[in-house]
Chain A
C-alpha cells in the first residue's frame, strides 16, 4: 500500500529525526507526521493520539481536522483500533470496517458513515512504553498494508515517538511526563485559537484551523506561537486576514 519511492521514504525518515533544531514546535511536528503518513499511504485521513496521565487517548493532530473525523478519534477512548494498539503495543492493520461492527459497535458504524472502508492503528512506542497511536483510515477497498508496509509504518511510528519526546536517551519517566503534558497543552492552545478565529472572522472552526496553519506557514512561524498570539493578543486576531 505504501506508494512512494525509497528516496522519498528516506527523506521522510530524516525529516522525522530532525527535531533538535531551535525552531522545533511540537504542534508543527505532530501535524507533519500525520501529513507525511497520509502522503505515504494515500490515506484520506491520518490522526495522532497521545495518552494523558490517566491513560486516556487524546487527539493531538490530524492530516485534516474536520469535526466528524475528530469525533472518530475521541470515540476510541472506549473502543477501536487505537485503544487496541495502545493496550497491546502491537499494530492493528487491514480491518474491514464493514465487518467490524461486532468488534467495535460504536466506532465501526461511525467510521463507515464518515466514508471509510478500512482502518489501521500503530502504537507509538518508546522501549516498552506506549505513549500514543497513529491512526490511518482508508476509503478504497482492497488496498491493504503488506507485511513490509507494516514494518515501515511501525518504524515510522517509533521514530516519531523519539522525535516527539526530543530526547535521545530518556532515562527518567519525568522527561516523558514533562514532554507529553507540554504536547497536550499545546493542543489546547490550538483549539482556543480556532474558536477565537472562528468567532472573529465568522467562519467554522474547521476553516479556522486551515487559516491559522496557512498563516503560520506563509510567515514561517511556529504553529504554537501563532496560536498563542491569537489567544493572548487581540491585535493579532485582526492581522490574520490582512
Chain B
C-alpha cells in the first residue's frame, strides 16, 4: 500500500499468508486496511471475539482458513506510509511484550529497507539492526521535512536521500539531521 493508492501484496512467508493478504485486498476490509488508515497497529488476539459488524466479510473468510489471530503493523514514519506488516497465527492469544517489541522493530527495519530500495533485505530481514531500531531524535524528522521542501520530493524520498547521504559520507544519520536543522547542510545547494 502506498500514499498514491498503489496496493498489492509485496512479500509473504508462505502460500497461506499470501492467500490471507489477497483476501484483504479483494474484500477491502480487515485489520491491514484499518492499521493503514488509522496509522497505528491493529492487534486482534482472538478473531472470534471481534464484533461481526467490524469486518463482516473478512472474519468468516479468515476463520475458514484456520487463522485465529492477526496483528497488523503500519510501515510508517509520521506522515510517510509505505504499507503494512501482517502477522497471522493459527491459535488465539496476545503477543508477549517481547514479541510485540520484535514485531515493531521488524516493521521498522522493513520500512527502512523499502526506503533504501533493498528488496532483498525487506524480505529476509536482518537481526543485528533490530536492537536500536526506531530510536531517533526530533531533529531527524524535522530535517526530513526540510529536505522534502529543499528537493521538492515526497517525505519518503527525503528520508531515502538523507540515508543515502549519511551512508556515502560515513556519517551517522542523526548527525546529518542535526546539520540540516542547524542549516549547516543544504541538500538543494551543497549536493548539486
Of the candidates A178, A197, A231, the one whose C-beta lies within 8 Å of that of B40 is: A178
- Shortest Cβ distance from A236 into chain B, in angstroms? 12
B135 near A199: Cβ-Cβ < 8 Å: no
B78 near A172: Cβ-Cβ < 8 Å: no
List residues of chain B with CB under 8 Å of any chain A CB: 3, 38-45, 74, 76-80, 94, 97, 100-101, 104, 134-135, 137-138, 140-150, 152, 154-155, 181
Chain A contacts for B43, CB-based, 8 A: 174, 177-178
- Shortest Cβ distance from A105 into chain B, in angstroms? 21
The 8 A CB mask of A202-242 against B (1 = contact, 0 = none) is 00010000000000000000000001100110100100000
Is the contact region of chain A dominated by helix, strand, or loop, or is it mixed?
A: helix
Chain B contacts for A196, CB-based, 8 A: 145-146, 148-149
B138 near A198: Cβ-Cβ < 8 Å: no
A195 near B145: Cβ-Cβ < 8 Å: yes
A232 near B79: Cβ-Cβ < 8 Å: yes
Beyond A53-B97, A177-B43, A195-B181, 10 additional pairs, beta carbon < 8 A: A74-B138, A174-B44, A174-B45, A178-B41, A182-B39, A185-B76, A191-B142, A195-B144, A196-B149, A205-B181
Q: Known: A53-B104, A173-B94, A196-B145. Is A185-B42 also a contact (CB below 8 A)?
A: no
Complexed CA–CA distance, A52 and B145 (Å): 23
Chain B contacts for A177, CB-based, 8 A: 41, 43, 100
- Shortest Cβ distance from B146 into chain A, in angstroms? 4
Complexed CA–CA distance, A182 and B41 (Å): 8
Complexed CA–CA distance, A232 and B158 (Å): 12
A192 near B101: Cβ-Cβ < 8 Å: no
Q: Known: A182-B38, A199-B146. Is A56-B135 also a contact (CB below 8 A)?
A: yes
A70, CB-defined interface residue at 8 Å: yes
Chain B contacts for A186, CB-based, 8 A: 39
List residues of chain A with CB under 8 Å of any chain B CB: 52-54, 56, 59, 70, 74, 172-174, 177-179, 181-182, 185-186, 188-189, 191-200, 205, 227-228, 231-232, 234, 237
Chain A contacts for B45, CB-based, 8 A: 172, 174
- Shortest Cβ distance from A92 into chain B, in angstroms? 24
B142 near A182: Cβ-Cβ < 8 Å: no
- Shortest Cβ distance from B89 into chain A, in angstroms? 13
- Shortest Cβ distance from A144 into chain B, in angstroms? 31
Complexed CA–CA distance, A210 and B181 (Å): 17
Chain A contacts for B154, CB-based, 8 A: 232
Complexed CA–CA distance, A177 and B38 (Å): 13
A192 near B155: Cβ-Cβ < 8 Å: yes
Q: Known: A196-B149, A231-B78, A232-B79. Is A181-B142 also a contact (CB below 8 A)?
A: no
Of the candidates B44, B135, B142, the one whose C-beta lies within 8 Å of that of A205 is: B142
Complexed CA–CA distance, A232 and B38 (Å): 16
Complexed CA–CA distance, A74 and B134 (Å): 15
Complexed CA–CA distance, A195 and B15 (Å): 43
Complexed CA–CA distance, A232 and B104 (Å): 24
B145 near A191: Cβ-Cβ < 8 Å: yes
Complexed CA–CA distance, A220 and B108 (Å): 34
A185 near B146: Cβ-Cβ < 8 Å: no
Name which residue of chain B comes closest to A54, CB basis: B101
Complexed CA–CA distance, A178 and B144 (Å): 25
Name which residue of chain A comes closest to B40, CB basis: A182
Name which residue of chain B comes closest to A224, CB basis: B39
Complexed CA–CA distance, A105 and B38 (Å): 41
Chain A contacts for B141, CB-based, 8 A: 188, 191-192, 195
